[in-house]
């Protein structure tokens, strides 16, 4: 999967902890692409951040040196220049590279758990919270058992002795 | 039972000896040690030779064990006032954890393997790790990670005794806080390093490795808040124990994710599974064992104290719900692609857009509670009273947010508007909190009478506000441009004019490079000279982008050299990063708050040894 002779900066984050050996050599492209029109520029930048460099260790198109990332940036740039919609651009890339190219996985049967776990857990948490609060609200004050009463008396008498 | 303490000291001495030997091997350029040969070079500056000790897998595991031995020793040293059974059990659990990790090193990851015949020189440290922040990042992170082992051991020891009294809670709290503050510093350093060393100006990537350290942080944050309730009100005790178990389990999970190679590819993990399987086994034993113990013993833990729907207890419970759901969302986002790939369901990417959609909203709600919680009374409060307490803070926050939105209308998103409000809300409620405490203590003279832990809480919460401002501003108003510049050309970003003067060659101790010279002006006046570099490390045959940054309290200007183009021109990356320092500033405030919290006098008051204090003994 990894292209030989390419720096993988994100892999370096890994190596900060893991120290995978980073094989590296000449860097491909960081090409000066952009738009004079601010709206198009913003759309282009946003797209680059949402798309993954498919040969990299977790880098977006906005931050990859890989040759393929450069090619894809040019492709995206061209399609933005042609005023194609974001959806059209994403569909175009998915057709070639699969869902892997999207940093925001589409909601499908395979990703229901990914997308809906957090809301379901939140709901569960709120229910637990409500039940606990309800129970605590109506909890009668606990009576001390004999042991604890002796203990309390001892502590209190100790305290009185300390004070006096 | 008395053997635990000397054993802890012995363990520390011998692990320190091992770490010392490895450090010596690095400083002495002993390339007959395979690990040294793979991670250092005779031209490497001495400082990085020392940092290279934990620059690879084997050495960082040794550092991990060393930190664990250090914590165990600290526990043995400071715990004389604890009931001796609890103390022995805690040290025993810590000892078991040490055995696990020492075995891991001995069986799968020895840093002392020989490489004979010894090579003439080593393969050098990864250039990305040749950096001061990266040199101290792993030790800080590990002190945090492993610190939660102490709290975990205390929790397991309490479960074994079947009893948690308030002394236990008071005793555990500073340990959790210290672990948390080091983890905060570790994550902060990692983020800071990524910003200026990776060359792209990002500060958080939602990378699985970052998430591995962030999950214990979230659970640890929930833990220190629950410990507060347990100490003040005697509630949440069973939950505290469960959180302590979960926090440490998440630390172990992080170790598994990072150490097993599973992140690079599920398949590379499957082809060389020894390390991963060991940690996974260790993780399973720890989690299953401690949860079984919990299920068996937790019902015996009695909570005291009632509270109403509107009370600080309820709000802190909501805090814990949000933090744990947020933690779960990070966990799911991190593991989901791995699980799908392992099950052959195809490959997907879970990146920043996912976490922005799921994680960030939870945190913004939490930010609302940060303001509300400290102004709410323990046990119960009437809505009228609360409304009365917060009315000024709410009014000022809404007004300030309105003004901010009007001023920064251009580009402000809904998320940023909410973030602005939350930051104002936290700041104003902190002011209300301090003010009302001062009123109780006779005006400004009361400043010294307020306990450090109150200041700590408010400082940490302010840190959160500062963080929200920084993260929001840089994500919303940050600008990045990649442009083509020839010598003498200039480009303007956010009103700053960057002029490319020239490039020259530079020679470092273990690299050669090209240095660009840029001048930055604003409205004709000079702002900064910036010297970004492109470096080649010949031993590793790797090239590195060293951006140049003009740092400021309100904005950073960031220049990175891309590639040489024709006619002496370069592709150049220019960035304007508003308020980015506030991100780390906020995290630093949280860490300092942790320090302030443990400085509170009440943790230094010795618990009197008397038979009534520890009825769990001898049962």
Residue A3 pLDDT level (bands cut at 50, 70, 90):
very low
Residues of A within 8 A of B39 (CB-CB) are 19
Q: Which two tokens stand for residue B454?
A: 């109150």
Q: Are residues B539 and B532 in contact, defined by beta-carbon separation less than 8 angstroms?
A: no
Q: Which residues contact B20 (CB under 8 A, 6 or more apart)?
A: none
> Which of B126, B218, B340, B544 is best to mutate for the A interface (most A CBs within 10 A)?
B126
- What is the per-residue pLDDT for B445? 75
Please tell me the distance in Å from B3's CA to the nearest CA on chain A: 31
Mean pLDDT, residues B379-396 taken together: 89
Q: What is the pLDDT of residues B202-259, one digit of tens each?
A: 899 998 889 999 999 999 999 999 999 888 888 888 899 999 999 999 999 988 888 8
> How far apart, in whole angstroms, are the C-alpha atoms of residue B551 and residue B151?
39
Length of chain A as a residue count: 164
Asked if the peptide bond before residue B117 counts as cis, ω within 30 degrees of 0, the response is yes
State the SS3 of B510-570.
CCEEEEEEEEEEECCEEEEEECCEEEEECCCCEEEEECEEECCCCEEEEEEEEEECHHHCE
pLDDT above 70: residue A14: no
- A137 contacts B306? CB cut-off 8 A: yes
The pLDDT of residue A151 is above 90: no
Tens digits of residue pLDDT in B326-337:
999 999 999 999
- So what's the ipTM on this one? 0.86
B109-118, B280-289, B601-610: range with lowest mean pLDDT = B601-610
Confidence band of B608 (pLDDT split at 50, 70, 90): very low
For residue B610, the model assigns a pLDDT of 42
pLDDT-derived band at B271, boundaries 50, 70, 90: low
**Which of B259, B351, B484 lies closest to A18 in CB terms?**
B259
**What would the pLDDT profile of B127-150 be if each residue is shown by its tens digit?**
888 888 888 999 999 999 999 999
Burial level of A159, CB count in 10 A (0-12/13-18/19+)? exposed
> How high is the pLDDT of residue B267?
61
Read off the DSSP letter of residue B55.
S
The CB-side HSE value for B118 (13 A sphere, CA atoms) comes to: 15
Residue B198: the pLDDT is 78
A67 reaches B (C-beta below 8 A): no
Beta bridge pairs of residue A58? none
Higher pLDDT, A66 or B475: B475
Rounded to whole angstroms, how far apart are CA atoms B495 and B277? 55
* A98–B134 C-beta distance less than 8 A: no
For residue A117, give the nearest of B194, B321, B332 by CB distance.
B332
- Phi (first) and psi of residue B107, to 5 degrees: -85, -35
* Rounded Cα gap, residues B211 and B330, in angstroms: 7
Contact B349 A102 (CB under 8 A): yes
Task: Give the A window 82-141 contacts with B, CB below 8 Å.
Answer: 98-105, 110-111, 113-115, 117-118, 121-122, 125-126, 128-129, 132-133, 136-139, 141
Nearest Cα to Cα of residue A59 among A13, A112, A128, A20: A13
CB of A38 less than 8 A from some CB of B: no
Q: Render pLDDT for B354-387 as a digit per residue (tens, 0 to 9).
A: 999 999 999 999 999 999 999 988 888 888 888 8
Q: Virtual CA dihedral for B239, B241, B245, B246, nearest 10 degrees?
A: 20
Closest CA to B285 of B88, B68, B64, B104: B104
CA distance A123 to chain B (A): 10
Write out pLDDT tens, residues B529-578.
999 999 988 888 888 888 999 999 999 999 999 888 888 889 898 999 99
Q: Least CA distance to A59: which residue of chain B?
A: B205
Q: Is the pLDDT of residue B602 over 80?
A: no
| Structure confidence at residue B543 (pLDDT) | 83
Question: In this predicted structure, what is the pLDDT of residue B438?
Answer: 87
Indicate the length of chain B as a whole number.
Answer: 619
- Structure confidence by residue, pLDDT tens digits, B170-218: 889 999 999 999 999 999 999 999 898 876 788 999 988 899 999 999 9
pLDDT: which is higher, B413 or B615? B413
């Amino acid at each position: 999967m990894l292209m030989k002779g390419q720096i993988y900066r994100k892999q370096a984050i890994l190596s900060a902890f893991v120290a995978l050996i980073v094989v590296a050599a000449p860097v491909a492209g960081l090409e000066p692409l952009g738009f004079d029109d601010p709206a198009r520029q913003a759309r282009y930048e946003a797209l680059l951040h949402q798309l993954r460099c498919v040969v990299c260790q977790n880098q977006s198109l906005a931050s990859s040196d890989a040759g393929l990332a450069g090619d894809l940036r040019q492709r995206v740039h061209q399609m933005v220049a042609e005023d194609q919609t974001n959806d059209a651009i994403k569909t175009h890339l998915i057709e070639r590279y699969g869902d892997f190219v999207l940093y925001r996985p589409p909601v499908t049967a395979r990703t229901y758990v990914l997308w809906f776990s957090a809301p379901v857990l939140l709901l569960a948490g709120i229910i637990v919270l409500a039940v606990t609060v309800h129970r605590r609200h109506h909890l009668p004050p606990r009576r001390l058992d004999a042991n604890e009463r002796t203990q309390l008396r001892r502590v209190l008498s100790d305290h009185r002795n300390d004070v006096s | 039972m008395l053997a635990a303490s000397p054993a802890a000291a012995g363990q520390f001495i011998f692990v320190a000896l091992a770490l010392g030997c490895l450090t010596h091997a690095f400083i002495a350029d002993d390339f007959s040690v395979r690990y040294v040969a793979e991670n250092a070079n005779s031209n490497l500056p001495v400082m990085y030779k020392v940092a290279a000790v934990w620059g690879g897998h084997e050495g960082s595991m040794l550092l991990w064990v060393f930190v664990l031995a250090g914590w165990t020793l600290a526990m043995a040293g400071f715990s004389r006032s604890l009931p001796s059974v609890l103390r022995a059990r805690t040290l025993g659990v810590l000892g078991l954890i040490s055995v696990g990790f020492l075995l891991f090193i001995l069986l799968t990851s020895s840093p002392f393997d020989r490489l004979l015949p010894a090579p003439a020189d080593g393969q050098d440290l990864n250039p990305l790790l040749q950096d001061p922040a990266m040199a101290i990042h792993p030790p800080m992170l590990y002190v945090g990670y492993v610190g939660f082992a102490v709290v975990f051991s205390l929790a397991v020891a309490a479960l074994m005794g079947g009893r948690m009294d308030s002394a236990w809670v008071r005793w555990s709290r500073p340990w959790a806080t210290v672990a948390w503050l080091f983890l905060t510093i570790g994550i902060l350093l990692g983020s800071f390093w990524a910003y200026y060393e990776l060359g792209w100006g990002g500060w958080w990537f939602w990378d699985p490795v970052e998430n591995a350290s962030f999950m214990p942080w979230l659970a640890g944050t929930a833990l220190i808040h629950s410990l507060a309730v347990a100490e003040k009100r005697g509630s949440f005790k069973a939950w505290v124990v469960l959180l302590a178990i979960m926090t440490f389990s998440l630390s172990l999970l992080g170790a598994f994710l990072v150490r097993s190679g599973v992140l690079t590819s599920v398949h590379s993990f499957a082809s060389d599974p020894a390390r991963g399987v060991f940690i996974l086994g260790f993780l399973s034993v720890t989690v299953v064992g401690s949860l079984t113990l919990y299920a068996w013993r937790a019902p015996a833990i009695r909570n005291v104290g009632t509270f109403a729907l509107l009370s600080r207890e309820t709000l802190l419970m909501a805090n814990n719900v949000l933090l744990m759901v947020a933690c779960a969302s990070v966990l799911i986002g991190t593991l989901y692609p791995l699980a799908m790939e392992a099950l052959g369901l195809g490959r997907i990417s879970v990146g920043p857009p996912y976490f922005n959609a799921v994680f960030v909203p939870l945190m913004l709600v939490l930010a609302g509670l940060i303001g509300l919680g400290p102004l709410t009374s323990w046990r119960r409060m009437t809505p009228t009273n609360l409304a009365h307490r917060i009315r000024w803070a709410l009014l000022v926050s809404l007004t300030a947010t309105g003004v901010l939105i009007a001023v920064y209308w251009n580009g402000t998103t809904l998320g940023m508007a909410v973030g602005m409000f939350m930051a104002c809300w936290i700041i104003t409620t902190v002011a209300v909190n301090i003010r009302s405490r001062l009123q109780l203590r006779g005006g400004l003279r009361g400043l010294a009478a307020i306990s450090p832990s109150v200041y700590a809480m408010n400082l940490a919460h302010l840190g959160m506000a500062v963080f929200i401002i920084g993260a929001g501003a840089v994500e919303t108003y940050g600008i990045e441009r990649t442009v083509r510049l020839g010598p003498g050309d200039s480009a303007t970003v956010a009103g700053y004019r960057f002029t490319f003067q020239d490039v020259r060659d530079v020679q470092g101790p273990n690299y050669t490079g090209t240095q660009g010279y840029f001048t930055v002006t604003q409205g004709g006046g000079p702002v900064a000279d910036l010297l970004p570099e492109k470096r080649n490390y010949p031993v590793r045959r790797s090239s590195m982008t060293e951006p140049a940054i003009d740092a400021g309290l309100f904005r950073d200007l960031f220049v990175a050299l891309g590639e040489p183009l024709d006619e002496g021109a370069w592709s150049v990356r220019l960035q304007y990063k508003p308020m980015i320092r506030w991100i780390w500033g906020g995290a630093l405030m949280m860490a300092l708050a942790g320090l302030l919290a443990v400085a509170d006098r009440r943790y230094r008051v010795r618990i009197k040894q008397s038979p009534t204090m520890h009825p769990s003994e001898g049962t």
